[in-house]
Amino acid sequence: MTKKTDEDRRLREIQRHLVNHIEKEIKEDDDYMYMATMLLKHSMVLYKTFLTDDEIRRMLRHVGKTISNDTHDITKYMDNDNTPPTMH
């Protein structure tokens, strides 16, 4: 296997484990918001270690402009048929 293939496989494994863990922790309707908030907050802390505040603002503007229901359909990220979830 090439390094890229190994990296892609490992990223899919990590994503699958993370999704499985999150699904086990979701018990109440508000838990989805709590989980999303926690993930965003931890991502922002990570981004701040290597991006300036201006770069983070530019990144978030780009995300806001490019996110769409068609492209970012939640069903594409769920492992319902024993295939790896979509990675972006």
Greatest CA span in the chain, whole angstroms? 42
pLDDT tens for 3-57 read 778 888 888 888 888 888 888 888 888 888 888 898 889 999 999 999 999 999 9
Question: What pLDDT is stored for residue 20 in this prediction?
Answer: 86
In total, the chain counts a number of residues equal to: 88
DSSP string, 24-80: HH--STTHHHHHHHHHHHHHHHHHHTTS-HHHHHHHHHHHHHH--TTTT-GGGGS-S
Q: Rounded to two decimals, what is the model's pTM?
A: 0.48
